[in-house]
Structure 1
Amino acid sequence: MPVKLGPGRFSLLLAGLFSAIPAFATDLLQVYRDALTYDAQYTAARASAVAGREKQPQALAGLLPTIAATGNSYWNDTRYKVNVDTLSSSYSNKYNNHSYGVNLTQPLFRWQNFVQYDQSKLLVMQTEANFAQAGQDLILRVAQAYFDELFAIENLRAVQANKTAIAQQLAQAKKNFEVGTATVTDTYESQSRFDLATAQEIAAESELEVKRYALRVLIGKNPGELNRLKPKAVMTPPQPASMEPWVEAAERDSFVVQAQQAATEAAAKAIEISRAGHYPTLDAVANYNQNNGPGQFGVGSIDNTTRQVGLQLNIPLFQGGSVNSKTREAIAKRDVEAASLDNAKRSAALGARQSYLGVVNGLAGVRALEAALVSSLSSLESNRLGYEVGVRINIDVLNAENQVYVTRRDLAKARFDTLLAQLRLKAAVGSLAEGDLEQINTLFEAP
């Protein structure tokens, strides 16, 4: 016999069924992989890397032979007129003239071409380092946008929870005033706090929309629900647990430093290229030419075939001082790149120090805020109890509730800032990769 369920039981059954379905949300790793294919900055960096890699084949072409084929065909209308004393004669001839040839040139000694080939390798190294840095920047931008949206959600939740608590206190204050157990001051104070919380809620909602759109710009779609940081997520301190090894690694291995190092060495090669303008060049040349045309005065035809193989030497003597000027220019540009390299190393060292302190101090701050949250919750309970028995006033409860709200918000911010500092520390030494996102992704769970 079928069992009939009432409306209430049927609703409970549906709720149970839907609660058994696992919740799906977008995780940090999925957002990153979406950004790999959509983000405009990374797409531009990828195209720039493809273009930069062509420097080496272009420079190699300067060491390889060049072959050129030429050909022409002319229609000729020739008229001759000879005058000797009182006698004159004329002659006209119309004919086609054809010629074609093949020229080969093989550079044997062109010092600037050899140096340009070496320089091209450095330029490709610079391109690869810049592209690797763009990949790290993408990871940081994705993490920043992901954490910003999660923090905006936590901030809105805290604001709404604070508003709800204040609304309850406002209702209680109004009730107590009506029965004469409280003054109107409590009502005014609660109303003021409620209006302020309403304004904070509007601002928090607006901030969440902005952060949500910022993440959408990176991946080109609405990510939907995001995985949330686990309440008991454990963040590990940096290894090695000393700042100096990180600083030394940043000065040596940072992709920004590597790119600038390659740029500096390439600028030094440019000085050699400029100076090579004074050097002679030697090429091996080979020519083959075929000419077809009529004979003298249109009689018969002439086929002329020329084959040449030899060496061609070019010795520059004076070029108006342009070589010396370009050399001085190249030296100045080398000095610019060298100074930029010093700045890149110092900036990398500073970034490593800041990120290392961000992780260490962030972990300490998280532990302190976790303890502060426990204390704030205990204080709130004590104030509520004191208010019920008459030893605390309404403003004491409101202050305690607000402290809980502020502590929760600060704790969420500290956690996200610490995670981001961990990623930035890895980026400072050029080791940030997708695997680091995978590791952080394990600290999150579906909401």
Structure 2
Amino acid sequence: MSRLSHALSRGLLLALSCSVAVPALALDFREAYERALRHDPSWLAARSESAAGRHEHALGRAALLPNLSYRYSRARNDSEVRQSTAFGETTQDLDYTSHSSGFTLTQPLFDAAAYAQYREGAALAEAADLSRERARQALAVRVLQAYTDVLYAQDEMTLAEAHRLALREEARRSQRFVASGEGTLTDQLEVEAQSQVIEAQVIEAEDRLQAARNELQTLVGRLPSTASLAPLQSTSPTMGEGAPALDRWREWALARNPELAAERQRLEAARQRLNQQRAGHLPSVRLFASSRVSDSSAENQVGQRYDTDSVGIEIEVPLYAGGRVLAASRRADDTLAQARHELDATTAELLNDLERQYRMVLSSRRRIRAYRNAVAAAGARLEATRRSILGGERTNLDALNAEHQRFEAKRDLARARYDYLLAWLSLRWHAGVLDDGDIERVAGAFAD
């Protein structure tokens, strides 16, 4: 092994050692997901939205249940009563206190609007629960995306740091060789040019790493500056070579995807809202019972007390409301058509995303095999370059480039494996079959 290869290897080891944190501060994928369940603002907002939506069921049901109310009034009255008689006009001043109190109980017997409101509330409550499940599954995918983005940024940073350290050592060696007459100025200038490029790449890698960490921190909460992530295992478990065909995934998505199910419930809610508006043309029937006590409720009843109990049926028949019912019905019909089109658009978009993730799973497997071969080929090329240096056919710069290509192949292999895990999890998310067991399988792909 040439001294340049030793330098690059030592640079890589040093860069790797700088990224290793105290084990107690290491964060694996499972812990990151659990922390996101407690800290991610988007998830917490979705959970609160779901909790609010579940009350729609109770609100709709209230329209069908009995309504009991109590009313009390008390007033001081000063009244002047004028009356024309055969003897002329008489005036009487009345100063009295009146009061009334009573209970009224009503129970809808036939109310099409109230029944439609009940069914609308049930549909909205179901949609809220489904949206919450959709957000929970989406959180796992978002955490994995942010988690692997940090790991990939660390890989890029490690590669850039290692290359920079190796180039610095090579620059010092070239200067010594040129000073002693053993090296060429061309080699020295080439090393210096590459060093400037690498400096820029290191700065870019630092920015990408910080941006990736910030994105992860948004999900999981504040991370210590020394916290590290559990890396992907060198031989991560296979997530499922015998995956079902694409048509099977589509069937699962149409039947189980919580987002589609929520959209269907919202469509049902819009349909019930239309029925509710159309019910403005229909009569309603209510059973009522009241118990009322009144004392001096009018000028001609001063000093008289009435205790009245009533039970009966009240029928209300709408006749004309200035066109409000027709306009509200047409608006609700247009809203229903909008909900139907939105469901179609969501379904088409979901199936497209599902197919894209399905093909990404398949292509990522091929990419992993190709990059593994590339890593092996880069390693063989590096060994051949080192032997050629000993024979005088190659220069140290050739070894530097070969070593760099080997590290790049390893980095690209890691990216392909990250993409595979993300596509596999996203595929199950779109199909609506993602569960805690899948999260555990992904977590098992990362070393503690």
| TM-score, normalised with respect to structure 1 | 0.89
Shift in Å, 1:402 = 2.6
What amino acid is the match of 1:291?
S
Percent sequence identity over aligned pairs: 29
RMSD of Structure 2 on Structure 1 (CA): 2.4
Secondary structure at 1:307's aligned position in 2? strand
Contact 1:295 1:302 in 2 (8 A): no
Report the equivalent of 1:242. Answer: 245
Aligned ranges 1:200-239 → 2 under 5 Å: 200-222=201-223, 224-237=227-240, 239=242
Report the equivalent of 1:74. Answer: 75
Matched, 1:406 2:421: no
What amino acid is the match of 1:253?
R
What amino acid is the match of 1:157?
T
Q: Which 4+ runs in 1 deviate beyond 4 A?
A: 21-24, 79-91, 294-299
Matched, 1:130 2:135: no
Shift in Å, 1:206 = 2.1
* Pairing partner for 1:309 from 308, 311, 314: 311
* Pairing partner for 2:438 from 429, 436, 446: 436
Report the equivalent of 2:199. Answer: 198
Report the equivalent of 1:14. Answer: none
Report the equivalent of 1:273. Answer: 276
Contact 2:124 2:265 in 1 (8 A): yes
Report the equivalent of 2:359. Answer: 357
Contact 2:239 2:441 in 1 (8 A): no
1:361-384 alpha-carbon deviations (Å, 9 max, x no partner):
111111211121121122112212
Where structure 1 has 5 or more consecutive residues not aligned to the other structure, the ranges are 1-20
What amino acid is the match of 1:219?
V
Q: In terms of mean alpha carbon deviation, does 435-444 or 174-183 score higher?
A: 174-183
Shift in Å, 1:424 = 0.4
Contact 1:106 1:284 in 2 (8 A): yes
Q: Relative to structure 1, is the Cα distance of residues 166 and 250 closer, same or farther in structure 2, using a 3 angstrom cutoff? A: same
Q: Relative to structure 1, is the Cα distance of residues 327 and 94 closer, same or farther in structure 2, using a 3 angstrom cutoff? A: closer
Secondary structure at 1:360's aligned position in 2? helix
Q: Work out the CA distance in 2 between the residues paired with 1:417 and 1:226.
A: 17
Matched, 1:397 2:396: no
Q: Work out the CA distance in 2 between the residues paired with 1:90 and 1:249.
A: 86
Shift in Å, 1:149 = 1.0
Shift in Å, 1:41 = 0.7
Shift in Å, 1:23 = 6.4
Shift in Å, 1:87 = 7.0
Q: In terms of mean alpha carbon deviation, does 103-112 or 80-89 score higher?
A: 80-89
Aligned ranges 1:329-408 → 2 under 5 Å: 329-408=331-410
Contact 1:230 1:443 in 2 (8 A): yes
Secondary structure at 1:288's aligned position in 2? strand
1:259-307 alpha-carbon deviations (Å, 9 max, x no partner):
11111222222222121111111111122221123999999x3221222
Q: Work out the CA distance in 2 between the residues paired with 1:253 and 1:404.
A: 44
Q: Work out the CA distance in 2 between the residues paired with 1:326 and 1:341.
A: 23
Where structure 2 has 5 or more consecutive residues not aligned to the other structure, the ranges are 1-21
Secondary structure at 1:51's aligned position in 2? helix
Q: Relative to structure 1, is the Cα distance of residues 252 and 348 closer, same or farther in structure 2, using a 3 angstrom cutoff? A: farther
Secondary structure at 1:54's aligned position in 2? helix
Q: Relative to structure 1, is the Cα distance of residues 122 and 296 closer, same or farther in structure 2, using a 3 angstrom cutoff? A: closer
Q: Relative to structure 1, is the Cα distance of residues 286 and 186 closer, same or farther in structure 2, using a 3 angstrom cutoff? A: same
Report the equivalent of 2:422. Answer: 420
Aligned ranges 1:145-224 → 2 under 5 Å: 145-222=146-223, 224=227
Q: Relative to structure 1, is the Cα distance of residues 83 and 138 closer, same or farther in structure 2, using a 3 angstrom cutoff? A: closer
Shift in Å, 1:354 = 0.8
Q: Work out the CA distance in 2 between the residues paired with 1:26 and 1:298.
A: 82
Number of equivalenced pairs: 425
Shift in Å, 1:79 = 4.2
Q: Relative to structure 1, is the Cα distance of residues 85 and 277 closer, same or farther in structure 2, using a 3 angstrom cutoff? A: closer
Q: Work out the CA distance in 2 between the residues paired with 1:373 and 1:119.
A: 59
Q: Work out the CA distance in 2 between the residues paired with 1:115 and 1:92.
A: 54
| TM-score, normalised with respect to structure 2 | 0.88
Contact 2:252 2:433 in 1 (8 A): no
